[in-house]
Amino acid sequence: MHIPDGFLATPVWATLDVAAAPAVGYLARRAQQGLEQSKVPLLGVMGAFVFAAQMINFPVGMGTSGHLVGAALLAYTLGPAAAGVVLTAILAVQALVFQDGGILALGANIINMGVAGMLAGYLPYALWGAGRWRRQTIFLGGFLSVLTSAVLALSELMISGVAMPAAVLRISLGLFVVSALLEGAITLAIMQALASINPDFVRQPRSGGGRALGFIGLTAIFLVVAGVAIASAYPDGIQKLADATGIASQAKTLLRTPLADYELGTLHSVWLRKAGAGLAGLGLIYGACMLCGKLLARQRGA
Amino acid sequence: MHHVVLDRWSHGESALHRRDARAKTIAVLIFLVALATAQRAFLPLSVCDLGILAATIIAAGLPLGAALKRAAVVLPFTAVFAAISLAAGEPMRAATLVGKSYLSALAVLVLVSTTPLPELLGGLERTGVPRYLLMVAQFLYRYLFVISEEAQHMRAALQAKSGTLRRAVWDRGKFAAAGGALGVLFARSYAHADDIHQAMLARGFQGHFLTLSGRSFRRADVFFVAGALVIVAGTRAAVEAWI
């Protein structure tokens, strides 16, 4: 589910853009360190593969069919860092060339699918992928990756105040579970085909890194639960939440104070403050991105 | 296919095509932020914004009707949520969802149909986006076609080899066959990537892409960004002051 622009409230997309920028920077560094140079074309071609894979339909009976989403499959075959980079590239190309997903909402889509969904899919594989429950683990990973992404997207929409009556919510959660089950089955079918073509395609889970990954995965799942909880507690959206906690009025005074001394009539209009805050947010995102890049580069140089 | 048309459009020679990729990216971001944060007087604002975008499309020498139609790909997704909002008794929110998502998609369409993607990604690299990520995106875009064509061949083969009589029933064999097809497609993509890397090394690849059109941020680009800011912000101020 690619969220277009215009659906998310400004605090939601701005926050997620700020969160996505350093996450993607970190994943890109990790992927670059972990892979030899020959993998650069590989990651791009694998992105094209995920695009093309949507053309192959998996018949599920009743005349309907589904197709691969691919986050868990990429994590199993390329490793989580490289999978995150490929998914980010896919989402960026989809947003730019196919108008599938927004530009301001790109951070939200990256967090939902490329980071949280991918990690939720990789987590069971990293923990139990080498054991005797391998097949079930692969299935569970595909299931979790789609379900996590979908629930995150849904809760972001609800926090932003998009109307979601209880009946609609139940139906869409049901649909998400069905498509998540399908993704698990498709991922398993492809993994079995890959194992019989060439076992080297599949990365074996490393032992030892499980604890850190487990922590990240649990954090992701916690965020999902928290998001749903907040969204259902405040069905009218973040505006109400901000009003209830007084954040909105504080933010207003914060924004007004620096401009209060100037007798510029136009600056007092609400929209200019809002647009200014939005642009300042973009500036902050840019700054955070540059800073993280610099820090990581220095860390690597040391 | 969709992106072939965009690719052709993006190689035009209008004044808009000649602007630096970064200037156009900043202008589109200004437009998107102004639109996303709009709350009051949305309907007149969206009409004005549509006018701005239409004027830009005509100035860039692109076919207006085709561009308007292409941006409509966001509407099916939006329509679902707009319908839910309508059913929940919030017609204004439904209109806002449709207007904001359509106009945002159209603005991004104007950006990519006046800027070739390699140039756009090159511009992003010079603003600090990780080069590794952008190289992956470049390869992805470049080989989208190649791999998609193979997938089409495989789909045709799969359909030719499997009957469609038992469509109504869950068929484990067919499911596994589709999985096998994607496994083979994966293996072929992998082999492609190896060949591509060998070819790149043979041509002296140094770890980054070289671009022919060395466009730089000129004075005209500064004027362009300033103009975009004045027009977009001015329109919104005027509309909100007038209503």
- pLDDT value of residue B204: 80
Query: Which A residues, 10 through 29, put their C-beta within 8 Å of a C-beta on chain B?
Result: 10, 13, 24-25, 28-29
For B109, the domain range is 2-125+214-242
Pseudo-torsion of CA B102, B108, B114, B115, nearest 10°?
A: -160
B80 domain-assigned: yes
CB contact under 8 A, B178 and A102: no
Nearest to B37 among A55, A62, A278 (CB): A278
Q: CA geometry: angle at A195 spanning A194 and A198, to 5°? A: 75
Domain ranges, ordered by start, for chain A: 10-237, 246-302
Report ipTM (2 d.p.): 0.91
d(CA B132, CA A75): 18
- pLDDT value of residue A268: 43
B14 domain-assigned: yes
Residues B118 and B141 in one domain: no
Residues B58 and B137 in one domain: no
CA distance A95 to chain B (A): 8
Question: Contact, A216 vs A119, CB < 8 A?
Answer: yes
Residues B87 and B163 in one domain: no
- Phi/psi for A235 (5° steps) reads -65, -15
Q: Which residues of A touch B197 (CB under 8 A)?
A: 38, 40-42
Three-state DSSP string of chain B: CHHHHHHHHCCCCCHHHHCCHHHHHHHHHHHHHHHHCCCCCHHHHHHHHHHHHHHHHHHCCCCHHHHHHHHHHHHHHHHHHHHHHHHCCCHHHHHHHHHHHHHHHHHHHHHHCCCCHHHHHHHHHCCCCCHHHHHHHHHHHHHHHHHHHHHHHHHHHHHHHCCCCCCCCCCHHHHHHHHHHHHHHHHHHHHHHHHHHHHHHHCCCCCCCCCCCCCCCCHHHHHHHHHHHHHHHHHHHHHHHHC
Q: CA geometry: angle at B188 spanning B186 and B189, to 5°? A: 65
Question: Contact, B71 vs B102, CB < 8 A?
Answer: yes
d(CA A110, CA B57): 29
Residues B195 and B221 in one domain: no
B67 domain-assigned: yes
CA distance A209 to chain B (A): 24
* Dihedral sign from CA coordinates of A270, B36, B222, B61: negative
Residues B53 and B93 in one domain: yes
Residues B173 and B66 in one domain: no
- Cβ-in-10-Å burial (0-12, 13-18, 19+) of A112 comes to buried
Residues B184 and B142 in one domain: yes
- pLDDT value of residue A73: 93
- pLDDT value of residue A241: 47
Say yes or no: A269 contacts chain B, CB-CB below 8 A: yes
CB contact under 8 A, B185 and A56: yes
H-helix segments, chain A: 10-34, 39-53, 71-78, 80-97, 106-109, 118-128, 134-159, 166-197, 210-233, 238-245, 247-256, 270-301
Residues B99 and B113 in one domain: yes
pTM over 0.80: yes
Residues B219 and B113 in one domain: yes
Residues B169 and B94 in one domain: no
B209 domain-assigned: no
d(CA B113, CA B7): 7
- pLDDT value of residue B243: 74
CA distance B148 to chain A (A): 5
Q: What would the CATH number be for the domain defined by A10-237?
A: 1.10.1760.20
The residues with which A58 forms a beta bridge, in sequence order, are A66
Q: Tens place of pLDDT for every residue, chain A, 302 residues?
A: 789 998 998 888 998 998 899 899 988 888 888 776 667 889 999 999 998 888 787 877 666 677 888 899 999 999 888 999 999 999 999 999 888 889 999 999 999 999 988 988 888 888 877 777 888 999 999 999 999 898 888 888 888 888 778 888 888 888 888 889 999 999 999 999 998 998 888 887 765 555 565 666 666 666 666 665 555 555 444 444 445 444 444 444 444 433 333 333 344 445 455 555 556 655 665 665 556 555 555 555 44
Mean pLDDT per 10-residue interval, chain B, length 243 residues: 77 88 93 89 91 95 92 88 86 90 95 91 86 90 89 85 58 80 91 88 77 72 93 90 81
Question: Contact, A77 vs A190, CB < 8 A?
Answer: no
d(CA B56, CA B62): 9
Nearest to B151 among A31, A56, A98 (CB): A56
B149 domain-assigned: yes
Assign residue A79 a region: left if phi > 0, alpha if psi is -120 to 50, beta otherwise? left
In residues, how long is chain B? 243
- Cβ-in-10-Å burial (0-12, 13-18, 19+) of A132 comes to exposed
CB contact under 8 A, A52 and B186: no
- pLDDT value of residue A277: 57
CB contact under 8 A, A6 and B170: no
B100 domain-assigned: yes
Residues B88 and B15 in one domain: yes
- Chain B interface, best mutation among A12, A45, A168, by max B CB count within 10 A: A45
At A66, is the secondary structure helix, strand, or coil? strand
d(CA B60, CA B53): 10
- Cβ-in-10-Å burial (0-12, 13-18, 19+) of A136 comes to middle
Residues B219 and B111 in one domain: yes
Give Cα separations from A19 to A4, A24, A292, B189, B191 (angstroms). Answer: 18, 9, 11, 32, 35
Total domain count, chain B: 2
B208 domain-assigned: no
B158 domain-assigned: yes
